[in-house]
Structure 1
Amino acid sequence: MTYTGTDKAHKSFLSRPGVRRLVPFAVVTAIALVFIFENRASVEIRLLIPMVTMPLWGALLIAWGLGVLACVVTVRRRSHRHSGRPK
């Protein structure tokens, strides 16, 4: 096989933009999940009016999930706003 000059240079796995964004998310997620599941005590939580007794890991997991959802919505809105659409 001959080199034609159009072959792309091999990029390392960690130099790809998608991977570089995913690695910090995976590390933070792993640390958060360890923290969440280590807190297994039951706690009372006030949800505006009612008092709810639930495991602390459940409340932390709900809060983490809402944070991830807010991040996804924010990143998606930002990418659509800066997508280079003509004005």
Structure 2
Amino acid sequence: MAQTTPHHRARTPFLSRPGVRRALPFVLITAVALIFIFENRAHVEIRLLIPLVTMPLWGALLIAWGLGMLACVVTVRRRSHRHSRQ
């Protein structure tokens, strides 16, 4: 029988690895979102409850995207903690 050495082990293809499969949609969506955000450079007026703020649209979109990412991280973290206790 032939012995397998660490150099002869079958390697999983890069796109089949679980970490890559989980990160790939995030990377693609982030790239498209950032392109969309930085293409919108006009100044807009945004009402924040009472004050009226004039700022570039890309800044408002970037803040909204960042808050969405933060909400996603918090949700995933809470879900993983809930499942690890059971």
Structure-1-length-normalised TM-score? 0.87
Q: CA RMSD in A?
A: 2.0
Matches within 5 A, 1:1-87: 3-4=3-4, 9-83=10-84, 85=85
Once the two structures are superposed, residues 14-37 of structure 1 have per-residue CA deviations (whole angstroms, 9 ceiling, x without a partner) of 111111011110000000000000
Using the TM superposition, name which of 60-69 and 5-14 deviates more: 5-14
- SS of 2:53's equivalent in the other structure is strand
AA of the residue aligned to 2:3:
Y
Unaligned runs of 5+ in 1: none
- SS of 1:82's equivalent in the other structure is helix
Identity %: 76
List structure 1 runs of 4+ shifted beyond 4 angstroms: 4-8
- SS of 2:49's equivalent in the other structure is coil
Aligned residues: 84
Unaligned runs of 5+ in 2: none
Structure-2-length-normalised TM-score? 0.88
Alpha-carbon offset, residue 50 of structure 1: 0.2
